[in-house]
Amino acid sequence: MKKAYSFNDYISIINSKLDSFVPECTYGEPVVCDAMKYSLSIGGKRIRPVLLLEFCRVCGGEVEKAVPFAVALEMIHTYSLIHDDLPCMDNDDMRRGKPSCHIKYGEEYALLAGDGLLTRAFGVIAQSEAAKENPACAVEAISVLSDLAGVNGMIGGQTVDLMNEGKKASIQTLEVMDRLKTGALIVSAAKLGCLVAGADEIKTKAAVNFCEKIGHAFQIIDDILDVVGDEKELGKPIGSDGESDKSTYVSLLGLEKSTEYANQLTNEAIEALSVFGDEAELLKEIADMLSKRKN
Ligand code: GRG
């Protein structure tokens, strides 16, 4: 098994590489590249890239090789946050405790920065060392990411979310929406990490199962934090779900049942890790940390 990394080791690797994958502007108007770098650099928990790198490691892969895939995933996540904050979506002025991209750079450039991150993400994978060594792996990774971030993945979830604005959605609708909107990118971390490592089907299934469960718990906790969270710690205002009359786990199940549900999913996620034996310690810690997160 390859050397173990701590959560902070992974954060350092990711944070030190993100900027270098944003292209230099060659025509003298760097505003969009600056906005891309700004949104990538203002923080964030880096959960998705950390999971990707750790799944690669526990499946016997080389973490260094997986870094561009992790960067690509964080770029797609960051693009979704930039677009989600725009006035035509959630109209949020703050993100990760700092002014949202459109507040800092204007709506037009924020839109382009999101587009820039999305398109660049696929280039980062296609141009990686791993792609040169194993083009089929890169093509598969691009295909997986494009499906999970696309209209039957994250974008689909956002569409269901928009269509249900102002309506009382059922718990079933909520589960579909969150599986797509929040879960799909978290699952892509498992799929891509396993793919780069050349993991077998049993390990890939276990990794996907783990990410589906923590992705689901993640959204429930997001809904809980929107009610009982601390604005400073969250880096964004709370109460927006209630204000927009949005159906959430909390509004449908109540705080106590939502918390129990999130804990149950976290336990199930941890059980799914048994196939990785002693190597799963950090993944268990991540599940536990996410279940107790305050931001
Ligand atoms: C493409 C417009 C558009 C939207 C896609 C993912 C998404 C839909 C919108 C982002 C906003 C949102 C509340 C998504 C739910 C998932 C979620 C809780 C995202 C925040 O992820 P964290 O907590 O963020 O990992 P950090 O800042 O830590 O990276």
Packing angle between helix 184-197 and helix 201-228, nearest 10 degrees?
Answer: 150
1 lies in some domain:
no
| pLDDT tens, position by position, 168-184 | 899 999 999 999 999 99
In ligand 1, the atom with minimum distance to the C-alpha of 48 is 25
Q: Is the CB of 209 under 6 A from ligand 1?
A: no
In a domain, 294, yes or no: no
Assess if residue 293 is contained within a domain.
no
Distance 231 CA to ligand 1 centre (A): 16
CB of 89 shorter than 6 A to ligand 1: yes
Long-range CB contact pairs, 148-155, < 8 A, 24+? 148/184, 148/185, 148/187, 148/188, 148/191, 149/76, 149/80, 149/118, 149/184, 149/185, 149/188, 152/180, 153/180, 153/184, 153/185, 153/188, 154/76, 154/80, 154/180, 154/181, 154/184, 154/185
Asked if residue 49 lies in contact with residue 74, where contact means CB atoms within 8 angstroms, the answer is yes
pLDDT in tens, 204-218: 999 999 999 999 999
Q: Are 92 and 238 in contact (CB under 8 A)?
A: no
pTM of the model: 0.95
In tens, the pLDDT along 123-155 reads 999 999 999 999 999 999 999 999 999 999 999
Residue 2 within any structural domain of the chain? no
How far is the CA of 111 from the CAs of 46, 146, 147, 159, 237, in angstroms? Answer: 22, 19, 21, 18, 22
Q: Is residue 164 part of a domain?
A: yes
Q: What is the pLDDT of residue 243?
A: 66
Residue type, 64: E
For ligand 1, whether the C-beta of 47 sits within 6 Å is yes
Q: Is residue 277 part of a domain?
A: yes
For residue 157, the ligand 1 atom closest to its alpha carbon is 8
Average pLDDT over residues 250-277: 96
Percent of the chain residues topping a pLDDT of 70? 98
Q: Rounded to an integer, what is the distance from CA 261 to the centroid of its chain? A: 21
Ligand 1 nearest-atom number relative to CA 84:
2
The answer to whether position 75 is within a domain reads yes
- Residue 91 φ/ψ, nearest 5 degrees: 55, 55
Q: Report the amino acid identity of residue 18.
A: L
Domain assignment of residue 213, given as a range: 7-288
> Which CATH number fits the domain that encloses residue 256?
1.10.600.10
| Domain contains 97 | yes
Number of domain units in the chain: 1
